[in-house]
Amino acid sequence: MTFDLTTNYILEYGNRVFSHKQIITKQPDGTTHKYSYGDMYKRTMKLGNALKNKLGINPEDRVATFAWNNYQHLELYYAIPAIGAICHPLNLRLSVSQISFIINHAEDRVVFVDATLLPLFEQVAKYTHNVEHYILLNASKDISTSLPNVIHYEDLIADESEILEYAKTSEESAMGMCYTSGTTGDPKGVLYSHRSTYLHAMALNMPNATGIGTNDTVLLIVPQFHVMAWGFPYSCMMIGADMVMPGPHLNPKAIIKAINDENITVANGVPTIWQGVYEELKNGAEIPSFRSLLVGGSAFPKSLIIGFYEDFNIEAIHAWGMTETSPLGTLSRLQKHHSNLNKDQKYNILAKQGVEMLGIEIRIITEDGSIAPRDGKTVGEIEVRGNWVVNSYYNAESDNFTEDGWFKTGDVGTLDNDGYMNITDRTKDLIKSGGEWISSVALENTLVGCELIKEVAVIAIPDEKWAERPLAAIVLNQGAELDIERISNMLKTNSFTKYQLPDKYVVVGEIPKTSVGKIDKKILRKMYADGKL
C-alpha cells in the first residue's frame, strides 16, 4: 500500500501516538503557556476550517506569518498545508523594503502578525496592498492598529469545528515557502514540498543526525521564519519530543532559564547564540539537563566545540545547510573508526561541517570545472542535490543551477575520503593575496580561540602590491587590550604562515549581523570603503 508523504500524516501520527506530549511557549509577557499535542491538534483543525470558511483560502494560496516561535505559529505550520495552501514565514529581521517586496512577490493573501511586532509591520503594510486580512496573535482586545481588516486569532478559530477535511494534496505539492535573506540582490523564494519536508524530518531524527527521541525536550531557538525552524517542528512531532518555543526571549540568560525551567535536553541555534550561552556558563550558570546543541548558519569555532564538551559535557553537533537545502545537508559526528584518534584529531573532525545526510549528495567543483577528489585538500565550490534541495526559485531566474541538476551553493571547501565536508569560505569572502588564496573562515575560527577576543570577522581589503590583504575586525573581551604580537604568534603556532596573517586589526564595538545571525561582511566592506574601519 502506498500513500502520499504529507505533513498531515505527521500531524495525525503525533496526535494518535503522542497526544500527551507537551508544547510549551514562553509568552512575550513572561508567562508560560503549556498544552498537549492533542490540544494542539484540535486547535489546528479549527484553524484549518477558519482559513477556508472565514478567509476563503484555497489550495496553493500563500498565507504569511510574521511572528515569534510560539504555539499559534506551530498551529499555522500544520493548518495551512492541511488545506493545500502554502505556509510562508516572513523574516521579521529584514528591512521594511525587503519584507514588503517578499509579501508582494509571493502574493500573500493573509498575514498573521504577532502583536509585539505591530509597530514594525504597520510600516510594511503601507506597501502591501494585495493582503486581504491581518490576523493578530496575542493581542489585547482594545489594541489600536492602523492595519485594515483585522481579526483576532482566537476570534477567528473560536466557533469552528474540530473536524477538518484535508485537501486532496499530492506529496509533490508545495506546503511551505521561505525567502533567502537577500544579501546578494533581491530575496528569492524557495518552495518546500510535503514530500521534501517529510523526508527531511525523518533524516533529522536518525541516530547519526540529531538523534533526538521521545524522551527529549527540545528548545527551538532557530526562528520559525528561518527555513521553517530547520524542520524541527516536524521532526519533533514525528518522534514525540516535547517542544519548547522561546517566543521573543532569545538572550543567553533567557535561554538558560528556559533550559532549567523545562529540563530541556537539546536545542538548535546559530553560533552567536551559543557563544553567548557559553560565556554565561563560564560565569557560573548551570544547565544540568542539557546534553547537546545543533549549531549551523555559519562555522562554529573548534575552540567552542572543545569548551562545551570539556567544560560542561555538552555535545556540539556541527551542521551545514541553506534556505535552498531545507536547510540541513550535513552533520558532523564521530564514527567508530575514529576511536583510536587523539583528542585534537577528533575535535578537528567535529569542527568540520560533516557528512551528507541520507537523501543528499555533495560534490566539489574546482576552478577548471572538474570534480575534485575526496582527499581533504582539493578546494572548490560545493554543489549539492537531493530530496529536499531546491531545483529553481519561485518566479525568479538564477544561474545557481547546473545543467546536470546540481545547486551551486557559493560555499568553498573540501571533502575528505570519509566524506566529511569542510567549508573554507564563501566564494565572495575568499581573499586572494599575491595569487594565493587565504581563508577568512579559517582565520576567524582560530582568532576567536584567543582569550583576548570575543568576536571577530575577517574581510579582504585592497592592496596595491598584493591585490588583497586580510583585515580583522575584533570585539575584545571585557577588560582586554589589543596585543597584535600576541595574536600573531597564536596564529603562527596554529600553522598560519606570514602571508596569511592579517595586515590590519581594528577594534570595533560589535560585529554587524544578518537577519539570521550570521556575520554581515557586506556591511564591514562598506564601512571600510567609507573610512569607518
Which residues are known to be catalytic?
180, 324, 432, 437
Long-range contacts at 232-237 (CB < 8 A, ≥ 24 apart):
232/204, 232/268, 233/74, 233/77, 234/7, 234/10, 234/77, 234/197, 234/198, 234/200, 234/201, 235/200, 235/201, 235/202, 235/204, 235/205, 235/210, 236/212, 237/10, 237/11, 237/13, 237/14, 237/18, 237/37
Grid coordinates of 421: 565536508
Can you tell me which residue has the cell 506529496?
A: 171
8 A C-beta contact, residue 32 and residue 261 = yes
Q: Which residues pair with 385 in a beta bridge?
A: 361
8 A C-beta contact, residue 276 and residue 250 = no
The span from the CA of 264 to the CA of 272, in Å, is: 20
**What residues contact 112, with CB distance under 8 A and at least 6 apart?**
63, 64, 65, 66, 67, 72, 73, 76, 134, 135, 136, 137, 153
Q: Which residues pair with 453 in a beta bridge?
A: 476
Q: In what order do the strands lie in the sheet with 504-507?
A: 453-463, 467-476, 504-507
Could you give the C-alpha distances from 134 to 4, 59, 106, 128, in angstroms and in order? 32, 19, 16, 11
Grid coordinates of 118: 505591530
DSSP 449-465: TSTTEEEEEEEEEEETT
The span from the CA of 256 to the CA of 378, in Å, is: 41
Phi, psi of 42 (to 5 degrees): -60, -45
Indicate the length of the chain as a whole number. Answer: 533
SS3 assignment, position 26: strand
